Amino acid sequence: MKKLAILGAMTAAGLTAGAASAATLDDVKARGTLNCGVTTGLVGFAAPNANGEWEGFDVGVCRAVAAAVLGDPTAVEFVPTTGKTRFTALASGEIDLLARNTTWTFSRDVDLKFEFVGINYYDGQGFMVPKELGVSSAKELDGATVCIQTGTTTELNLADFFRANNISYEPVPIETNAEAQPLYLEGACDVYTTDASGLAATRAAFENPGDHVVLPEIISKEPLGPLVRHGDNDWADINRWVLNALIAAEELGVTSANVEELASAPGDNPEINRLLGTEGTLGEMLGLDADWAKRAIMAGGNYGELFEKNIGENTPIGLARGLNAQWTEGGLLYSPPFR
Amino acid sequence: MSTYSDPPSGSFQLSMLINDTRYRSYTFQFVALLLLVLGMAYLGWNLVQNLAAAGLNISYQFLGEPAGYDINQTLIPYTSQSSHWQASMVGVLNTLLVAFLGCIMATIIGVAVGVLRLSNNWIVRQLMSIYVEIFRNVPVLVWILIIMAIFIAVLPQPRDFRGDDAEASMFLNAFAFTGRGFYSPAPIFGPGSGVVVAVFLASIAGIFALRNYATKALYQRGQLIPTLWPSIALFFIPAILAFYIMGRPIGLEYPELRGFNFQGGVFMRNSLIALWFALSIYTAAFIAENVRAGILAVSKGQTEAAASLGMRPNRIMNLVVLPQALRVIIPPLISQYLNLTKNSSLAIAVGYMDLTGTLGGITLNQTGRAIECIVLLMLFYLTISLVISALMNVYNNAVKLKER
């Protein structure tokens, strides 16, 4: 039944594709809300809080885009997607933006006709095992039962890793992260594998996080980023530069606390002025107004603030910046200049 | 003389297509058909155009490319380097396996429950109707999830078997019932084992021959030949003799805890057991109702006539009622088998890699070829269903009331 529904959606998408791909920006403005695809629930990245409001690192990207485009960070309709449904949802036009720790790969970019607008988290696939097993390296996992989310790059990486090391394993395919947790905790699988950030988030949600260890091996490169459909370059540009604005804001020292003041009048730093619209016409070029970046930064803070608030070292998830530090601090984050 | 008058033999005129009742219906049907064809052609053309505009070209080339992912339960050789087509075949076989096991178990449970629902014993009757109502009225997906959850929570995991004072131990040192599945000893066939297997198969054939002969003897000569004990003897004695004569060529490989899991022996995964069990008990509730309806459809006079001939209730059921009830039971039974087969596509809920899980799941995701995969998936299910339907119809023709 579900498959038939997808086919129906695909057919419908085929019939309306001509109209949908024209101008996503106009559609979003006319609708008044941004449809943003997120995970079905991964604490720290995207999960509803106790009040039912979505929050998290990926949610922050959605809110920043909504703030820049619509002027209201809460004008977002969050659409939970699984690893399996996310691409169909985006391709069919059900969502305007997919911010769901999705790995940027060649085939997704080229063959599936999507446009990755940047990288908001540099990740890699890791393994988590119970401490009592006494495993210290992924190469000791011969014969283990491995829980794995289907429809992700992780199952391909896993097959390659075990084949390259000539060890065997028993895959247990699972649809969502939420289903994987009880299976892993009950011991139906020895190992849980997904992106290292996801492991940290999952472990943080456990009753006794200390009973589980994340193994040191990172077996793949997983650059995670938001993506949009091919064919609407204007919309892709808006999303790309909202993300860049958040990253550049951290580099330039613009935070949610001082952005109001910095945007009130042109300051000494011309790049800040251009970013915040007190100088130049960057917003107009994007088809937005001059304050777009200011609103995006005010929505949840700059990249560093989003990181610290949702997944940083002071949160239960406790991820270090590592590769995700600014290039000036030894990381990989490097926004192209605003000029 | 005749009052018969020929229809006017004037030449055919175009207006007759509308005005002449002989042609009018054909005209309208032709126009309707034309419109339908045009409508379909428009929709198809539109779909192709828009798919092309969206950059989605239909291509099945991906089926030949390496799949890249692993599958836990494979009935045919498969590695992550095998093609997507091979992965689909693994899925088809897994679907057929669970459908086959499920149909058998559902039939056994369903017939038993259906007969017991008509029992004279009040408690049995009520228990069976409770069973039917509960299992029939809760969605099968829920049953699959419940059974899997109970399975994983109740049974010990391999880690519980570890250590000197382990919480769990193996049954008879040969069977391990774990939350990951059941492990049982596997036979190892050494040289000369072919003879033993051949002898065993021959003795099974012998049992059937004996029973055939006994039936014939009963019907033709009225001679009663005992079959029970000779059958049991035939089943065991020749095979055991051959086993020892050939020097015990068949051994057993016991599962044992090595590393993370039990190794060796036959492993039946929790996903297969949970799915099989859930589909069986769910479908059995429907089959039970079919069976009950079939039995009630046989006139009470038949039962009373048989009873007045001095037959015992068991024999009445087996020899008089069920043969007549079967022709009512089998047609809806076909639908239940088809339902069970199609419901097996819920397998991904417990991580069972059936056709929907491989072709319609991982392959679809990794290649992004949604339309191609779904069309192929529909074709596979259609074929499987039609084959099951055809086989069951052959059986139905064999048992239905012969009208001469």
The CA–CA distances, whole Å, from A181 to A156, A176, A193, B70, B148 equal 21, 9, 11, 21, 14
Q: Closest approach of chain B CAs to the CA of A61, in angstroms?
A: 25
Q: Do B365 and A158 touch (CB under 8 A)?
A: no
pLDDT the model gives residue A319:
86
> How high is the pLDDT of residue B404?
65
Q: How far is CA B365 from CA B67, B186, B372, in A?
A: 11, 36, 12
- Is A186 close to B159, i.e. CB distance below 8 A? no
Q: Taking CB atoms and an 8 Å cutoff, what residues of chain B touch A178? A: none
Query: Are the beta carbons of A145 and B260 separated by less than 8 Å?
Result: yes
- d(CA A8, CA B50) in angstroms, rounded, equals 14
Which amino acid is residue B309, in one-letter code? L
- DSSP symbol at B52: H
* Shortest distance, CA A56 to any CA of chain B (angstroms): 26
Residue A13: list chain B partners with CB under 8 A: 54
Dmax (CA) of chain A: 64
**Residue B158: Cβ within 10 Å count:** 23
Tokens of A194: 């997904």
pLDDT, tens digit, 9 for 90 and up, residues B173-214: 778 888 888 888 888 887 878 888 888 899 999 999 999 999
Distance (Å) of CA A153 to CA A201, B85, B325, B365: 18, 20, 54, 10
Residue B278 near residue B147 (C-beta atoms within 8 A): yes
List the domain boundaries for chain A: 21-122+223-329, 125-220
CA of A9: which chain B residue's CA is closest? Answer: B371
| Residue in the block written with tokens 């991964």 | A42
Taking CB atoms and an 8 Å cutoff, what residues of chain B touch A150? 348, 357, 361-362, 365
- In the predicted model, what is the mean pLDDT of residues B226-233? 86
Q: Is the pLDDT of residue B43 over 90?
A: yes
Q: Does B6 have pLDDT greater than 80? A: no
Are A79 and A217 spatial neighbours (Cβ–Cβ below 8 Å)? no
CA angle B322, B328, B333 (to 5 degrees): 100
Q: Do A3 and B360 touch (CB under 8 A)?
A: yes
Contact across the interface for B46 and A10, Cβ inside 8 Å: no
Give yes or no for B198 touching A (CB within 8 A): no
The pLDDT, as a whole number, for residue B240 is 87
Q: Check B366 against A156: CB less than 8 A apart.
A: yes
- Outline where DSSP puts E strands in chain A: 34-38, 47-48, 54-55, 76-80, 97-103, 114-116, 121-123, 125-130, 144-149, 169-174, 191-195, 212-214, 222-229
Nearest CA distance, B129 vs chain A (angstrom) = 30
Amino acid at A25: L
Contacts of B356 in chain A (CB under 8 A): 3
Question: How many residues are given for chain A?
Answer: 339
Alpha carbon distance B49, B37 (integer Å)? 18
Token pair, residue A280, equals: 């130049």
CB contact under 8 A, A188 and B370: no
C-alpha dihedral sign at B200, B205, B208, B210: negative
Chain-centre distance of CA B215, in angstroms? 31
The residues pairing with A147 across neighbouring beta strands, listed in sequence order, are A172, A192
Contact status of B258 with chain A (Cβ, < 8 Å): yes
Per the prediction, chain B carries an average pLDDT of 87
Distance between B13 CA and the closest CA of chain A, angstroms? 43
Rounded to a whole number, what is the distance in Å from the CA of B261 to chain A's nearest CA?
7
Residue A48 three-state SS: strand
State phi, psi for B371 to the nearest 5 degrees. -65, -45
Number of C-beta neighbours around residue B133 at 10 A: 11
Which residue's entry shows tokens 């529909």?
A: B378
Query: Which domains, from first to last, does chain B contain?
Result: 84-182+270-399 (1.10.3720.10), 186-253 (no CATH)
Q: Both tokens of residue A30?
A: 């006319």
* Sequential pLDDT tens for chain A (339 residues): 444 454 454 454 444 444 444 589 999 999 999 999 999 888 889 999 989 899 999 999 999 999 999 999 999 999 999 877 888 889 888 999 999 888 898 888 888 889 999 999 999 999 999 988 888 888 888 888 999 988 778 888 999 999 999 998 989 988 888 888 888 888 888 999 988 888 888 888 888 888 999 888 888 998 999 999 988 999 999 999 999 999 999 999 999 999 999 998 888 899 999 999 998 899 999 999 999 999 999 999 999 999 999 998 888 888 888 889 999 999 999 999 998
CB pairs under 8 A between A and B: 137
- CATH number of this structure's domain A125-220: 3.40.190.10
Residue with tokens 């089926």: B63
Closest CA to B301 of B330, B324, B329: B324
* Residue B230: pLDDT over 70: yes
Whether A80 and A41 have beta carbons less than 8 Å apart is answered as yes
Strand-pair category, B176-178 with B181-184 = antiparallel
For B348, the closest of A156, A175, A182 (CB atoms) is A175
Residue A165 distance to chain B (closest CA, Å): 14
Residues of A in contact with B68 (CB under 8 A): 156, 159-160
The class level of CATH for A21-122+223-329 reads alpha beta
CA-wise closest residue to B69 among A192, A180, A173: A173
CB A81 within 8 A of CB A89: yes
Measured on CA atoms in the order A104, A109, A111, A112, is the torsion positive or negative? positive
Contact B183, B258 (CB under 8 A): no
- Say if residue B293's pLDDT is above 70: yes
Give the per-residue pLDDT at B235: 87
Q: How many CB atoms lie within 10 A of CB B206?
A: 15
- Across the interface, do A84 and B70 touch by the CB < 8 Å criterion? no
* Nearest CB to A173 within list B259, B351, B378: B351
Task: List chain B residues with CB under 8 Å of A172.
Answer: 72, 271, 351
User: Are residues B365 and A171, on separate chains, in Cβ contact within 8 Å?
Assistant: no
Q: Which residues in A lie closer than 8 A to residue B375 (C-beta atoms)?
A: 7
Name the pairing type of β-strands B250-253 and B186-189: antiparallel
Please give the ipTM for the structure prediction: 0.74
Same fold, A21-122+223-329 and A125-220: yes
Burial B10-48 (b: 16+ CB within 10 A, else e): eeeeeeebeeeeeeeeeeeeeeeeeeeeeeeeeeeeebe
- Are A143 and B263 a contacting pair at CB < 8 A? yes
Secondary element (H or E) of residue B367: helix B364-367
Q: Angle between the A303-310 and A233-252 helix axes, to the nearest 10 degrees?
A: 80
B294 touches chain A (CB under 8 A): no
- Answer whether B55 sits within 8 Å of A155, measured CB to CB: no
Q: Which of residues 161-180 of B touch A (CB under 8 A)?
A: 179-180
* Longest distance between any two alpha carbons in chain B, whole Å: 112
What percentage of chain B reaches a pLDDT higher than 70?
95
